[in-house]
């Protein structure tokens, strides 16, 4: 369908698209509840039009951060700036940020049309203008047929779209989304993810998106902020986070499922040579590892799987691991196999090559896909 801009007031397209600011700056924002710190000094400068994902496990402070930006939770420390204007003291209705809630928070007593038009009504937009803009945005989220229904009569995905429509129709300078897809089933989640991506592409609104799903964050965001226990672990582009996680926690979150200890043999700058458990690996590190033990992480899909020509324990080559497939799960496009080495190491391997339980395998892993960290 045609992307329909919900506004046509003749403002210059660029200013319109980017709202009225250049930067949204979170300066050491902190929130504690009683004695517990839910968010400890988040520092982030967001450029207008950027899509930011706050990623982390539940209780990591990501929703707290979002509620602080929205103004629903007062800060206990730090400040929020829209260019040169400090906004952390102003109330949510004064900030004018659009928010999509996890449970959608649609007004159950108002029709879809009046839900979506609510923000415009509050802004004193004339009735005919409200109708026109609501119709346009319902078109954008593909819901014009449901305009006069109550939210309770819509499916989860439709309610979700109404919530998005309601947040974007007021043309907010910033859109905040709090796990908007977590209540949807897997198939709908994929569809709505694409929908959110499309709306962001069309409207170029600055978006802060909270999720615990790294796939969602990777696929949607320009930049990802990984949080854990209220602290910022890493901020970077999806590619950076995926290939160069800053530490073990981020690595774990980014799908590095194989995590084991090895002894450092020697290190050259960022290259490290490791050995132990009957294997030898060459890998990379961003830390200053020189001696002692290191934690090695490898993603299941980074192994190149082949048949072992010889018995598992008879060869010991760098970055080659021999082992025997134990449990094999067929996942449609590929296989998920648990492979045990003669020394008892259990590796998770993902491969498109057909694997049968009991089979002897040769796992090769490129040095740049082996990441080493200092032990936690």
Partner 1 sequence: MTMSSFDVRRSSGTFDRTLLLVVPGLLIVLALFLYPFLFGFILSFSTGKGTSLGNYAKFFSTPFLSDTIGTTLWISLPATLANIGLALPIAFVTRRYRFRRLLTTFLVVPITLGTVLVAEGLLIYLGPQGWLNRFLLTTHLSTSPVHLTHNYWGVFLSLIISGFPFAYLLLLSYLTGIDPTLPQAAATLGASPWRQFVHIYLPLLIPGLAIVFCLSFVQAFSVFPSAVLLGAPAGPTRVISIAAYQAAFEDYDYPMASAIAMIMAGVQLLVVVVVLGARILFYRGPSSGAKG
Name the site residues for partner 1 (rule: CB under 8 A). Answer: 70-72, 91-93, 95-99, 101, 103-109, 118-119, 122-123, 150-152, 154, 156, 159, 166-167, 170, 176, 183-184
Sheet containing strand 36-47, strands side by side? 36-47, 23-33, 77-82, 85-86
Give 14's contacts (C-beta < 8 A, 6+ positions apart). none
Smallest separation (angstroms) from partner 1 to the CB of 75: 16
CB of 371 closer than 8 Å to CB of 295:
no
Smallest separation (angstroms) from partner 1 to the CB of 149: 10
Smallest separation (angstroms) from partner 1 to the CB of 104: 6
Closer to partner 1 by CB, 104 or 256: give it.
Answer: 104
Closer to partner 1 by CB, 166 or 350: give it.
Answer: 166
As a whole number of angstroms, the distance between CA 369 and CA 283 comes to 7
| Cα-based torsion angle of the residue sequence 363, 368, 374, 376 in order, rounded to the nearest 10 degrees | -70
DSSP 14-82: HHHHTTT-SEEEEEEEEEEETTEEEEEEEEEEEETT-EEEEE-STTSSHHHHHHHHHTSS--SEEEEEE
Smallest separation (angstroms) from partner 1 to the CB of 61: 18
Closer to partner 1 by CB, 182 or 324: give it.
Answer: 182
Closer to partner 1 by CB, 154 or 264: give it.
Answer: 154
Q: Where are the alpha helices (DSSP H) in the chain?
A: 13-17, 62-70, 92-95, 112-122, 127-140, 156-168, 186-203, 214-220, 238-243, 248-253
Smallest separation (angstroms) from partner 1 to the CB of 156: 4
Q: Which residues pair with 260 in a beta bridge?
A: 296
Closer to partner 1 by CB, 80 or 296: give it.
Answer: 80
The secondary structure of residue 300, as a DSSP letter, is G
Question: Which run of H or of E encompasses 325?
Answer: strand 320-330
Smallest separation (angstroms) from partner 1 to the CB of 343: 42
Smallest separation (angstroms) from partner 1 to the CB of 71: 8
Smallest separation (angstroms) from partner 1 to the CB of 169: 9
Closest by alpha carbon to 95, among 173, 36, 40, 157? 173
Tell me the Ramachandran region of residue 193: left when phi exceeds 0, alpha when psi lies from -120 to 50, beta otherwise: alpha
Closer to partner 1 by CB, 154 or 365: give it.
Answer: 154
Closer to partner 1 by CB, 136 or 188: give it.
Answer: 188
Q: Where are the alpha helices (DSSP H) in 317-371?
A: none
Closer to partner 1 by CB, 23 or 183: give it.
Answer: 183
């Amino acid at each position: 369908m045609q992307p329909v801009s919900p506004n046509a007031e003749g403002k210059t397209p660029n200013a319109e698209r980017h709202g009225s600011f250049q930067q949204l700056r979170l300066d050491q924002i902190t929130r504690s509840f009683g004695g517990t710190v839910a968010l400890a000094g988040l520092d982030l400068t967001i450029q207008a039009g950027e899509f930011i994902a706050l990623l982390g496990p539940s209780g990591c402070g990501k929703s707290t951060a979002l509620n602080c930006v929205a103004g629903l939770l007062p800060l206990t420390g730090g400040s929020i700036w829209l260019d040169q204007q400090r906004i952390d003291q102003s109330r949510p209705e004064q900030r004018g940020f659009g928010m999509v809630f996890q449970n959608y928070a649609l007004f159950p007593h108002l029709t879809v049309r009046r839900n979506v038009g609510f923000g415009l009504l509050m802004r004193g937009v004339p009735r005919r203008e409200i109708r026109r803009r609501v119709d346009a945005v319902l078109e954008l989220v593909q819901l014009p047929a449901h305009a006069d229904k109550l939210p309770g009569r819509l499916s989860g995905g439709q309610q979700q779209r109404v919530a998005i429509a309601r947040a974007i129709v007021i043309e907010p300078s910033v859109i905040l989304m709090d796990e908007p897809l977590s209540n949807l089933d897997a198939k709908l989640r994929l569809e709505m993810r694409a929908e959110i991506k499309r709306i962001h592409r069309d409207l170029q609104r600055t978006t802060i998106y909270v999720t615990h799903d790294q796939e969602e964050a990777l696929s949607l965001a320009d930049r990802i902020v990984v949080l854990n226990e209220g602290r910022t672990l890493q901020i970077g582009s999806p590619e950076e986070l995926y290939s160069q996680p800053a530490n073990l926690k981020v690595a774990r979150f980014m799908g590095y499922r194989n995590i084991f200890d090895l002894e450092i043999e020697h290190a050259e700058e960022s290259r490290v040579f490791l050995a132990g458990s009957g294997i030898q690996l060459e890998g990379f590190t961003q830390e200053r590892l020189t001696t002692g033990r290191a934690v090695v992480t490898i993603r299941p899909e980074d192994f190149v799987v082949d048949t072992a020509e010889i018995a598992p324990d008879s060869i010991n080559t760098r970055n080659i691991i021999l082992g025997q497939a134990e449990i094999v799960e067929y996942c449609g496009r590929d296989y998920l196999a648990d492979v045990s080495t003669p020394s008892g190491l259990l590796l998770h391997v993902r491969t498109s090559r057909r694997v049968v339980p009991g089979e002897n395998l040769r796992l090769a892993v490129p040095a740049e896909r082996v990441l080493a960290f200092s032990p936690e």
